[in-house]
């Protein structure tokens, strides 16, 4: 081989960047850089966006000459470390389940125990999931390639996963997408789910403001600080697992792991495990989950029209989930003597505890002495339950139809 050939092979990565495929790679670097910027500069859910952004960089590095695959991804015969992580943690739904154990260990159901009526906001705020599911069924055939658009089973499966994005519940979205074998669409679905989750402080306030008056946002709600009885806190996760597992068996892995984490927290004899679940387990899985999701953002799978539509529909789902919760609260206020601050309804999504914090901040902006964090937290934890149940239901119903 002559010297120019050796140099050409040695610096093949550089020459690759000047090809049409290389241009797509550069676009992906810009997208990855934006995610990292949002994580570091804007502090939007940095624990997720930073690993996702970095994973996207690794997945889009110029391919190794012999294999034509980035070395971080590898080939089918010799998978790279990102592929190994994806197969080990996302493909088999392990990471979502582990994250839910950690989240369960972080959740205090006491506020919900004190005012259980807040649980219905966790149901109402799932409205966007089903509205988006319907909209996706209509719109997806227009952007999918002809052979995929003609496959109504695929459209329904994809619409299910897109709808779940609205719950702002990353693990459940991954769970649904995985169950329906949507690997090709995993990148936009997971990126939409996790980036919108982190953009709760940006997306929710304008929607809430558009649907409520200042007077409504200033409604105060009474709350008496006290902890729920221990026996109730211990029995709750067990009964919820049994009820959800019997009525919606498909929700059992997620609700079971969420409630298992919560039982560790509340039982009072496993403090060490509870702390591990809340800290070490949550941190470890978040790192691996983020970088594995980022690894799905390969240019040829990501820079497509259906990605744009999935991102747009995901945003629609998120907005309509927020709107569903707020409008449900306003509807309840027609009948209630003690009015509910309708912003509480928006906390019925699953982004815990960020959504509750956003609602409290908005309430404080209108009235510095208005404290509705506990009610918002109640709706927020109810949203965790609601989104998992919705995920299980949509899997069950769609699976029944596409059989």
Partner 1 sequence: MNLGFVDGLYISALGLAGVFLVLTLFYVTIRTLQKIGAKEKEE
Applying CB under 8 A, which of residues 47, 228, 284, 303 lies at the interface with partner 1? Answer: 228
Applying CB under 8 A, which of residues 44, 120, 196, 320 lies at the interface with partner 1? Answer: 120
Q: Which is nearer to partner 1, 36 or 159 (CB)?
A: 159
How many chain residues touch partner 1 (CB under 8 A)?
Answer: 46
Q: Is the peptide bond before 353 cis (omega within 30 degrees of 0)?
A: yes
In the complex, least distance from residue 158 CB atom to partner 1, rounded to whole angstroms: 12
Q: Which is nearer to partner 1, 117 or 333 (CB)?
A: 117
Backbone angles phi, psi at 154, to 5 degrees: -65, -40
Considering the rule CB under 8 A, would residue 123 count as an interface residue with partner 1? yes
CA-to-CA dists, residue 48 to 45, 224, 298, angstroms: 6, 35, 18
Site string for partner 1, 355-384 (x = CB under 8 A): ---------------------------x--
Considering the rule CB under 8 A, would residue 287 count as an interface residue with partner 1? no
In the complex, least distance from residue 403 CB atom to partner 1, rounded to whole angstroms: 8
Considering the rule CB under 8 A, would residue 112 count as an interface residue with partner 1? yes
Question: What does the block give as tokens for 240?
Answer: 């919820």
In the complex, least distance from residue 55 CB atom to partner 1, rounded to whole angstroms: 32
Applying CB under 8 A, which of residues 288, 289, 372, 385 lies at the interface with partner 1? Answer: 385
Q: Which of 348, 90, 383, 390 is nearest to 250 (CA)?
A: 390
Q: Which is nearer to partner 1, 155 or 177 (CB)?
A: 155
Applying CB under 8 A, which of residues 86, 95, 100, 130 lies at the interface with partner 1? Answer: 130
Applying CB under 8 A, which of residues 46, 122, 290, 325 lies at the interface with partner 1? Answer: 122
User: What's the CA gap between 320 and 129, in Å, rounded?
Assistant: 8
Applying CB under 8 A, which of residues 23, 235, 279, 361 lies at the interface with partner 1? Answer: 235
User: What's the CA gap between 74 and 228, in Å, rounded?
Assistant: 52
Only one of the segments 149-157, 168-176, 259-267, 313-321 lies at the binding site for partner 1 (rule: CB under 8 A); that segment is 149-157
In the complex, least distance from residue 157 CB atom to partner 1, rounded to whole angstroms: 10
Only one of the segments 63-71, 99-107, 234-242, 272-280 lies at the binding site for partner 1 (rule: CB under 8 A); that segment is 234-242
Site string for partner 1, 236-255 (x = CB under 8 A): x--xx--xx--xx-------
In the complex, least distance from residue 37 CB atom to partner 1, rounded to whole angstroms: 36
Helices 170-179, 152-165: crossing angle, 10 deg rounding: 170
Helices 152-165, 305-335: crossing angle, 10 deg rounding: 60
Q: Which is nearer to partner 1, 26 or 243 (CB)?
A: 243
Question: What does the block give as tokens for 138?
Answer: 């209509």
Torsion angle defined by CA atoms of residues 370, 373, 378 and 383, in that order, rounded to the nearest 10 degrees: 110
What is the 8-class DSSP label of residue 339? -
Q: Among all chains, which residue has been given the structure tokens 């982004």?
A: 351
User: What's the CA gap between 60 and 195, in Å, rounded?
Assistant: 19
Q: Which of 132, 144, 179, 119 is nearest to 325 (CA)?
A: 119
User: What's the CA gap between 158 and 14, in Å, rounded?
Assistant: 37
User: What's the CA gap between 298 and 187, in Å, rounded?
Assistant: 8
Only one of the segments 32-40, 43-51, 226-234, 265-273 lies at the binding site for partner 1 (rule: CB under 8 A); that segment is 226-234
User: What's the CA gap between 359 and 377, in Å, rounded?
Assistant: 9
Considering the rule CB under 8 A, would residue 229 count as an interface residue with partner 1? yes
CA-to-CA dists, residue 284 to 98, 99, 276, 389, angstroms: 10, 9, 10, 26
Strand partners, 74: 79
Considering the rule CB under 8 A, would residue 346 count as an interface residue with partner 1? no
Q: Among all chains, which residue has been given the structure tokens 């109504």?
A: 152
Question: What does the block give as tokens for 330?
Answer: 């306003």
Considering the rule CB under 8 A, would residue 327 count as an interface residue with partner 1? no
Considering the rule CB under 8 A, would residue 117 count as an interface residue with partner 1? yes
Q: Which of 299, 301, 293, 300 is nearest to 82 (CA)?
A: 293
Site string for partner 1, 152-181 (x = CB under 8 A): xx-xx--x----------------------
List residues binding partner 1 (CB under 8 A): 112-113, 116-117, 119-120, 122-123, 126-127, 129-131, 133-134, 137-138, 152-153, 155-156, 159, 228-229, 231-232, 235-236, 239-240, 243-244, 247-248, 382, 385-386, 389-390, 393-394, 397-398, 401-403
């Amino acid at each position: 081989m002559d010297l120019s050939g050796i140099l050409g092979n040695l610096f093949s990565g550089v020459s690759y960047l000047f090809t049409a495929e290389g241009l797509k790679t550069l676009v992906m670097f810009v997208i990855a850089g934006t995610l990292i910027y949002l994580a570091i500069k804007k502090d939007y859910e940095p624990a997720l966006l930073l690993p996702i952004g970095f994973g996207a960089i690794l997945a889009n590095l110029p391919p190794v000459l012999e294999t034509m695959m980035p070395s971080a991804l590898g080939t089918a015969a010799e998978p790279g470390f990102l592929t190994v992580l994806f197969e080990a943690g996302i493909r088999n739904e392990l990471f979502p389940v582990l994250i839910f154990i950690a989240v369960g260990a972080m959740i205090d159901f006491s506020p919900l125990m004190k005012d259980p009526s807040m649980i219905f906001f966790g149901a109402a705020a799932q409205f966007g999931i089903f509205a988006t599911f319907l909209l996706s069924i209509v719109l997806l055939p227009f952007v999918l390639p002809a052979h995929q658009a003609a496959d109504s089973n695929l459209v329904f499966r994809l619409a299910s996963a897109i709808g779940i994005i609205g719950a702002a519940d990353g693990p459940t979205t991954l769970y649904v997408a995985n169950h329906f074998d949507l690997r090709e669409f995993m990148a936009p679905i997971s990126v939409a789910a996790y980036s919108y989750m982190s953009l709760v402080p940006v997306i929710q306030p304008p929607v809430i403001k558009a649907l409520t008056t200042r007077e409504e946002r200033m409604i105060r709600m009474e709350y008496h600080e006290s902890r729920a009885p221990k026996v109730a806190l211990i029995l709750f996760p067990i009964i919820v697992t049994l009820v959800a597992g019997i009525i919606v068996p498909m929700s059992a892995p997620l609700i079971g792991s969420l409630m298992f984490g919560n039982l560790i927290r509340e039982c009072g004899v496993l403090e060490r495990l509870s702390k591990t679940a809340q800290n070490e387990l949550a941190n470890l899985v978040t790192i691996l989950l983020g970088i594995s999701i980022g690894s799905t953002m390969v240019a040829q799978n990501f820079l497509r029209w259906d990605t744009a539509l999935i991102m747009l529909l995901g945003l629609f789902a998120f907005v309509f989930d927020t709107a569903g919760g707020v409008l449900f609260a306003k509807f309840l206020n027609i009948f209630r003597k003690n009015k509910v601050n309708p912003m509480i309804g928006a906390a019925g999504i699953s982004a815990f505890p960020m959504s509750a914090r956003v609602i409290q901040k908005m309430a404080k902006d209108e009235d510095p002495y208005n404290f509705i964090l506990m009610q918002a937290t109640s709706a927020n934890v109810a949203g965790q339950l609601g989104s998992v149940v919705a995920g299980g239901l949509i899997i069950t119903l769609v699976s029944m139809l596409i059989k």
